[in-house]
Amino acid sequence: MIQSNSQSTLDSNILQALPDEILSTEKAQRMAEFFSFLGDANRLRVLSLLANKEFCVSDLAALLEMSESAVSHQLRNLRVMRLVSYRKQGRNVFYRLHDSHVFHLYQSVAEHLDEKD
């Protein structure tokens, strides 16, 4: 076992304050699962449309060239993760982004990827 003789250069006040600032293991795991969940191209395509306006399943399916069943499946998963919400109007169900946090997350990632080095 290698032991380090070096001492931290951090002030003790900073060290005492850090535990409140460090991401907990539980929250880090939940965030990792969240980002992993977003690692699906079809889910991101659905979010890209819903970032602009609300749509019903049939319109999303037509725009994405996917079956209504596949779109419904993705929307159900997005609802569970609280990324989309819906409202019923007659026989139609309209989906939209759950809140502004989801929109800003989507927008920030899209802008980051569009940046040129």
In a domain, 85, yes or no: yes
> What's 56's domain CATH number?
1.10.10.10
Higher pLDDT, 117 or 97: 97
Is 3 part of a structural domain of the chain? Answer: no
Helices (H), 2-67: 12-21, 25-37, 41-50, 57-64
CA 92 to chain centre: 25
Angle at 65 between CA 62 and CA 68, to 5 degrees: 65
Q: What is the pLDDT of residues 40-84, one digit of tens each?
A: 999 999 999 999 999 999 999 999 999 999 999 999 999 999 999
Domain extent for 93 = 39-114
* Total domain count, the chain: 1
Q: Is residue 47 part of a domain?
A: yes
Sign of CA dihedral 92, 44, 51, 35: positive
- Read off the pTM: 0.76
| In a domain? residue 57 | yes
**Does 28 reside within a domain?**
no
Q: Which two tokens stand for residue 90?
A: 């007659």
Residue 14: inside a domain, yes or no? no
